[in-house]
Amino acid sequence: ETGVTQTPRHLVMGMTNKKSLKCEQHLGHNAMYWYKQSAKKPLELMFVYNFKEQTENNSVPSRFSPECPNSSHLFLHLHTLQPEDSALYLCASSQPTGGFDTGELFFGEGSRLTVL
Amino acid sequence: QKEVEQDPGPLSVPEGAIVSLNCTYSNSAFQYFMWYRQYSRKGPELLMYTYSSGNKEDGRFTAQVDKSSKYISLFIRDSQPSDSATYLCAMRAGPNDMRFGAGTRLTVKP
């Protein structure tokens, strides 16, 4: 396995369900991210983890709960979602140095979520 | 005002055309400017990167940054059907604060 892998690729859930999205990176990076991608809207940064510590939470509703047990794994736990939460959820990783570098994000293929 | 503005298109051009994609931004602290390409049912991948103002060329692709106007561009010469994808501009000031445009969906017709 190489790069960033996300499972499941597709998920359909009712508003009362509890589900989780999983992300795993094999790049040795120290930072991991969750982004939400909706049609014709900018990618929305949801959460950032650096060395397993959450460093950013962009006012995301509490029905989204992230978990980062180690630098290689990231989860997004979903509970009582709304239909407007239907979107593509992208996981990414990077190796930020704070110096003169791209800070390139390496993305997974995303988990397509549909909330009925 | 959105932090990063990008026309979502869609944009359709014939094969061989020159394509111009653009973004404007409001945060003067942005220093690093990138273009990501996203094929259908895939995650975005870094295509071009520019630090501060100036031009950068890579094959058929040219990225331009004009910080005085807060305006960035991506030009694709001799466009090919394989260039059909969504192109997202991205920019950041610090190590973890990447901000994206909405993406422009491009179709190059044979």
Q: What is the pLDDT of residue B7?
A: 86
> What is the rounded distance in angstroms from the CA atom of residue A24 to the CA atom of residue A3?
8
Pair B26, B1: CB distance under 8 Å: yes
Q: What tens digit of pLDDT does each residue of B29-83 get?
A: 999 999 999 999 899 999 999 988 889 999 999 999 999 999 999 999 999 999 9
Query: What are A26-45's pLDDT values in tens digits?
Result: 999 989 999 999 988 899 99
pLDDT in tens, A56-87: 777 899 999 999 999 899 999 999 999 999 99
**A19 half-sphere exposure, CB direction, 13 A CA radius:** 18
Decide: helix, strand or coil at residue A47. strand
**Nearest-CA residue of chain B relative to A103?**
B95
* Strand A31-37 versus strand B54-58 pairing type: unpaired
Q: Which long-range contacts (CB under 8 A, 24 or more apart) does A62-70 make?
A: A66/A34, A68/A32
Chain A residue numbers with beta carbons less than 8 Å from the beta carbon of B43 are 4, 90, 92, 107-110
Q: How far apart are CA A77 and CA A63, in angstroms?
A: 8
Chain B residues touching residue A102 (CB < 8 angstroms)? 32, 34, 46, 49
